[in-house]
Structure 1
Amino acid sequence: MSGKVLKQKIDYIHNNPVEQSFVTDPVDWKYSSARNYADNETVLKIDNQGMHLGMIEL
């Protein structure tokens, strides 16, 4: 899977709560990993340090 496709999938997942009108911004969804990517306080911890594929940084 290319970096572009992976980023597309992650964006899709992060935007699901917005599409369902639960929140207006993906980082507002308490259990979303979008909060990790935005460096916000999170409930779920993921290691996104150095997360990249090839030349595409996520």
Structure 2
Amino acid sequence: MEDLFTLWNNLSHTTHFNSIYIGLASQEKIRSWSYGEVKTPETINYRTFKPEHQGLFCARTFGP
């Protein structure tokens, strides 16, 4: 429990900012972030309750 308090005290120190800049990402930047492609609209197999391969919930596409 003592470790938890120590961790919380270390995280509670915030850095003060005078300004922050927010901008739109370019198409190339967004494409570089992408990892996989959804090829079928299926989500979950109704018999096995597991994600369909290359579907919306496929772990290979979006990660576990």
Q: Which has the higher helix share?
A: 1
Q: Do Structure 1 and Structure 2 share a fold, with TM-score over 0.5?
A: no
- Greater strand percent: which structure? 1
With structure 2 as the length reference, what TM-score do the two structures score?
A: 0.23
- Higher RCO (C-alpha under 8 Å, 6+ residues apart): 1
Whichever of the two has the greater Rg, that structure is 2
